[in-house]
């Protein structure tokens, strides 16, 4: 049931910004009379701020009830969405987006829900993470078209008022009623077992305060995961942000065509979460990561070859979604294997902090498109980075299941 809860909440939470912003992107440019670079900057700073807050949020999640954090975050996020009704300029939009979206997403997004899955599952952790986070990808299938309908029917500001109502009516009550921090809180054991599975960590003194972060920073496996994902992380955000603008300005497609392409990416991201979650539970970690890198790299090549072929655009979007969907549970499983469930949220938050510079892919892509008057140059840069990620993945040590901390 808790996996279903995380699925639903991540479905809705990712719908509001992650899967709507690419659709709203041209409308923001028009309303605020700015170029792609300025809107990309607003989105990038929001993502960057959230990533920088992640270590602190990871510390909070390991020490305070998740349901309290998600409830407060939901109210905060809804407040920001309601304030959009009063935004009448670019800088007011930037300030509101930065203040409310960055903080709210960290509270209600994957950071909190991966913690729940790590607490509640041991043997089937990879699959549980894949299913829970799959809500993000299902939203990617549905929401681009829904957001297109909403924005064309009601405008983007009224659409965000609808989103605020969903946060207050759905998020807060569900979190307070359904969320429990860990199995012992309700007299259960991980994976729904009748007795401990034998995979639980042995009793011992927990590492506290700054000492635990020194442990993370001194760990070679931690840095291997950071290096592996730095070159990949953020490019998906750039793709879903800029793809509608690319298809409607440089190609011959309309906004509904663009929303369908984003939907295809979301559909294959669902497949990726299941496939890659299973691979992490049954295959070598390095093989799994390299398979994801290959999906990313091939997708970028197809985008460059697609021209006005809508079929190739859909193929490229599908490969992109497959790689993105798979990498989310993969990195969560890798971190939980290195440090165990008790420290997971803190190391996951620190990991997100080190990936913060990758959020500038959104800004870089917008700047490249404005400077060269085409997105093709950005696709070439993406391909080079994915190739680099493949080389790094082949060289570093990634922890397999037998290497997991007990």
Q: Rounded distance, CA 290 to CA 391, Å?
A: 9
pLDDT of residue 247: 92
pTM given for the model? 0.78
Confidence of residue 18 (pLDDT cuts 50, 70, 90): confident
pLDDT of residue 333: 85
Confidence of residue 197 (pLDDT cuts 50, 70, 90): low
Q: What is the pLDDT of residues 207-265, one digit of tens each?
A: 556 788 888 888 888 887 887 787 777 787 888 899 999 999 898 899 999 999 999 98
Q: Rounded distance, CA 353 to CA 247, Å?
A: 32
Confidence of residue 201 (pLDDT cuts 50, 70, 90): very low
Burial group, residue 286, by CB count within 10 angstroms (0-12, 13-18, 19+)? middle
Placement of tokens 């490229």 in the chain: 316
- For the chain, the domains span 2-185+207-403
From the CB of residue 154, how many other CB atoms can be counted at a distance below 10 Å? 13
Please provide residue 102's backbone torsions phi and psi, each rounded to the nearest 5 degrees: -65, -45
Q: What is the pLDDT of residues 324-351, one digit of tens each?
A: 878 877 888 888 888 887 787 788 778 8
Q: What is the pLDDT of residues 312-325, one digit of tens each?
A: 999 999 999 898 87
Q: Looking at per-residue confidence, does 233 or 184 come out higher?
A: 233
End-to-end CA distance of the chain: 25
Q: Rounded distance, CA 239 to CA 295, Å?
A: 14
Q: Which of 145-149, 153-157, 265-269 has the lowest mean pLDDT?
A: 265-269
Domain 2-185+207-403, CATH class in plain words: mainly alpha
- Say if CB 92 and CB 108 are below 8 A apart: no
Cα angle 76, 331, 123; round to 5: 100
Percent of all residues in the chain with a pLDDT value above 70, rounded to a whole number: 90
pLDDT of residue 2: 73
Q: What is the dihedral of CA 78, 81, 87, 91, to 10 degrees?
A: 90
pLDDT of residue 187: 60
The 8-class DSSP code of residue 402 comes to G
The yes-or-no verdict on residue 8 having pLDDT over 50 is yes
The yes-or-no verdict on residue 120 having pLDDT over 80 is no
Is 399 strand, coil or helix?
coil
pLDDT of residue 119: 73
Q: Rounded distance, CA 231 to CA 382, Å?
A: 9
């Amino acid at each position: 049931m808790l996996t279903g809860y995380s699925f639903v909440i991540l479905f809705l939470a990712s719908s509001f910004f992650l899967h709507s912003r690419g659709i709203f992107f041209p409308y923001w440019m028009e309303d605020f009379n700015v170029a792609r670079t300025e809107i990309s900057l607003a989105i990038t700073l929001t993502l960057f701020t959230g990533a920088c807050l992640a270590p602190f949020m990871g510390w909070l999640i390991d020490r305070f009830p998740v349901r309290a954090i998600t409830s407060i975050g939901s109210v905060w996020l809804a407040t920001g969405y309601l304030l959009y009704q009063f935004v009448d300029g670019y800088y007011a939009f930037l300030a509101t987006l930065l203040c409310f979206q960055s903080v709210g997403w960290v509270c209600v997004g994957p950071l909190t829900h991966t913690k729940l899955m790590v607490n509640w599952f041991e043997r089937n952790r990879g699959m549980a993470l894949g299913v829970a986070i799959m809500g993000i990808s299902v939203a990617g299938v549905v929401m681009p078209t829904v957001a297109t309908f909403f924005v064309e029917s009601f405008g983007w500001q009224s659409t965000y008022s609808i989103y605020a109502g969903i946060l207050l009516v759905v998020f807060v009550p569900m979190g307070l009623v359904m969320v429990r921090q860990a199995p012992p809180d309700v007299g259960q054991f991980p994976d729904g077992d009748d007795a401990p599975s034998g995979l639980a960590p042995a009793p011992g003194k927990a590492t506290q305060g700054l000492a635990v972060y020194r442990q993370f920073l001194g760990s070679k496996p931690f840095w291997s995961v950071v290096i592996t994902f730095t070159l990949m992380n953020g490019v998906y955000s750039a793709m879903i942000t800029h793809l509608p603008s690319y298809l409607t300005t440089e190609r011959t497609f309309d906004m509904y065509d663009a929303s369908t392409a984003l939907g295809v990416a979301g559909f294959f991201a669902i497949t990726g979460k299941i496939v890659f979650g299973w691979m992490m539970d049954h295959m070598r970690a390095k093989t799994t990561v390299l398979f994801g890198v290959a999906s990313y790299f091939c997708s970028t090549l197809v985008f460059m070859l697609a021209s006005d072929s809508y079929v190739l655009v859909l193929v490229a979007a599908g490969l992109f979604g497959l790689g993105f969907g798979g990498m989310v549970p993969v990195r969560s499983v890798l971190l939980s294997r290195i440090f165990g469930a008790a420290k997971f949220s803190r190391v996951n938050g620190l990991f997100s902090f080190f990936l913060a510079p990758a959020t500038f892919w959104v800004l870089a892509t917008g700047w490249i498109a404005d400077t060269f008057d085409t997105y093709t140059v950005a696709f070439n840069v993406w391909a080079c980075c994915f190739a680099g990620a493949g080389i790094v993945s082949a060289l570093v040590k990634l922890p397999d299941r037998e290497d997991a901390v007990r």
